[in-house]
Amino acid sequence: MLSVVAGSLAAAGEQSGSTAGEVTLPQYRALVVLAQHGTRRPADLATALTVSASTATRMCDRLVSRGLVVRTRTGDDRREVALALSPAGRTLVDEVTRLRRAEMHRLLVMLPATERTAVRDALRRFADAAGEVGETDWAVAPVPAEGGAR
């Protein structure tokens, strides 16, 4: 399954001419968490990714520099920031999802019809067990304007 996601990520970069191909799988996972749950504090993102706060910060620094994540200050404390997908980040997640679904469909139709349903159901159960939120359940959070505070 990781190879399908990795291939979809690379294909999204090739098709769009974007830097999508330069996004690592852990960075892409951060984008998916933001797509699923909306704006997050860096510490909350680190927890969701099961990485240290410093690792999440470095990861987000790279995503901010690529224009895929927007970092904004919250409240009066200049140290408090929130992370959200930029419009480009949302587009990337949507495109990779579309390509991944197409590839999974291509693979599933190669199976005999009698096996297809069982495999599809098993994949859904696997995703549920992993705690993966379905794309239709993703938060439809407003996307901040480009150029938020850093």
Calculate the average pLDDT of the chain. 78
Residues 94/102/5/91 CA torsion (nearest 10 deg): -10
Q: pLDDT tens digits for 32-74?
A: 999 989 999 999 999 999 999 999 999 999 999 999 999 998 8
Query: Do residues 95 and 12 make contact, with C-beta atoms less than 8 angstroms apart?
Result: yes
C-alpha torsion sign, points 123, 139, 91, 41: negative
**Confidence (pLDDT) at 134:** 58
CATH no. for residue 84? Answer: 1.10.10.10
Q: What distance, in Å, lies between the first and last C-alpha atoms of the chain?
A: 35
- Domain contains 148: no
Contact by Cβ (8 Å): 67, 88: yes
Q: In total, how many domains does the chain have?
A: 1
Contact predicate 32/77, CB 8 Å? no
Residue ranges for the chain with pLDDT beneath 50: 17, 137-150
Please indicate, yes or no, if residue 31 is contained in any of the structural domains.
yes
**What is the reported pTM?**
0.72
Alpha-carbon separation of residue 82 from 4, 22, 56 (angstroms): 30, 24, 13
Query: Residue 101: which domain range?
Result: 2-132
The answer to whether residue 145 sits within a structural domain is no
Query: Does the residue 89 lie in any domain?
Result: yes
Asked if the structure places residue 41 within a domain, the reply is yes
The verdict on residue 92 lying in a domain is: yes
Please check whether residue 140 lies inside any domain of the structure: no
